[in-house]
Structure 1
């Protein structure tokens, strides 16, 4: 079993080496690691060249985050695919071993786990916990979604049901998981441990303007797939994030 990992980046020199190192120290070694760069000018490419004997990388312009992810997916050849952001890193060196163990069951199509947001300057400081919980398809109706950076999916389902829809600005990951897990009912398994550490950004993503835009995109994700949420689904989704801050 080969696991393909895809990292997309643009001017990520400050963080991407931590990301790369967290992959290279994994005790599971059957890894295909692809980094898709968007044309960085800040020294990111120098870091990629430093590790190019241990990964594949390409640098070219794209149309945005989901376009870049799709370019990475086009290069992937592993049976299992995960995406690791350029400012995220694996919590320990056994992450991929746990993932591989889950996928030994051929009926399992997807897996996800818990995530911690950490301070961008002090990654030992946890700022928010995202405890995903056991999988229940109906939880999508309550605004639930798996933490996308922890999400692994069999390549066959990308091939059958499509890549990311790059017309989305911020909810492309939500739409993809909704499509795969809720619409197509792919079997998913929860790995009950923190596997991803994500550097927290600013509070701008909590602004009313951004929340309204995100809510519109969430609604579009359901509509484009021909499925209907409950009346409360799209409002419960942002409220669930507040609960994460309290945990």
Structure 2
């Protein structure tokens, strides 16, 4: 078995209550070749102090003002040297200590350019409140509101070099736009890992108010048109409807 370097990028800002759990889940991974990159937006709440306790496990640490979460992700991408890259934000954590091993095994055995898996949403007490089960991607799935959970999305670095990084023009939908660009618009080979890879805290800026929800929908729609989905208004309608089964 080969062990190519996997870069894990954590983006954070004033995340003192969650960052340690995230870091611990990365440094406890059994995979032997991890490059851990943390991009902090200039936290002033004790986040950096928590990070300092794990400095020996962190390959790259940057703390400076940025233009938001996706600008920070792009900084991480530019600094990464791994063959495979994924993002695990401060409110997220790996579900098990073997997740990066599973990621590598999937790349080795199936030879895709992208892998993704399943995700659980948890509350502050760690209780599961939603279950996102991605299912196998089929050509055209984005037309019906499908997308993989971004925290489970791992891809070859060469794809970013060829197809570009996160576009800040799509606001809160920058991750959706990138995945649609890679998978739907460019037909890159993907493989589904039927495993809960990540647990994510419920919440998020795009869902924090009615105005933000409307803005997020408009960003989604722009991303759909840009990546030539068959009928974007239909995909926009299906996208939230697909979330209903996550509660059951």
Separation in 2 of the partners of 1:236 and 1:209?
20
Within 5 Å, give how 1:36-47 maps onto structure 2.
Answer: 36-47=39-50
Query: Mean alpha-carbon deviation: is it higher for 19-28 or for 231-240?
Result: 231-240
Within 5 Å, give how 1:166-245 maps onto structure 2.
Answer: 166-201=168-203, 205=207, 208-229=210-231, 231-245=233-247
Say whether residues 1:108 and 2:118 are aligned partners. Answer: no
List alignment gaps of at least 5 residues for structure 2.
Answer: none
The CA deviation at 1:15 is: 0.6
Could you say what the CA RMSD is over the residues aligned between the two structures, in angstroms?
Answer: 1.7
1:5 to 3, 8, 20: 8
The CA deviation at 1:202 is: 7.1
- Contact 1:119–1:199 under 8 Å retained in 2: yes
Within 5 Å, give how 1:25-40 maps onto structure 2.
Answer: 25-40=28-43
Separation in 2 of the partners of 1:175 and 1:111?
17
Q: 1:199 to 1:96 in 2, by over 3 A?
A: same
Counterpart of 1:169 in 2: which secondary structure? helix
Separation in 2 of the partners of 1:63 and 1:85?
16
Q: Deviation per CA, 1:71-108, whole angstroms, max 9, x where unpaired?
A: 11110100000000101100000100000001114740
List alignment gaps of at least 5 residues for structure 1.
Answer: none
- Contact 2:143–2:230 under 8 Å retained in 1: no
1:164 to 166, 173, 181: 166
Separation in 2 of the partners of 1:140 and 1:225?
10
Aligned to 2:85: 81
TM-score by length of 2: 0.93
Query: Mean alpha-carbon deviation: is it higher for 125-134 or for 45-54?
Result: 45-54
TM-score by length of 1: 0.94
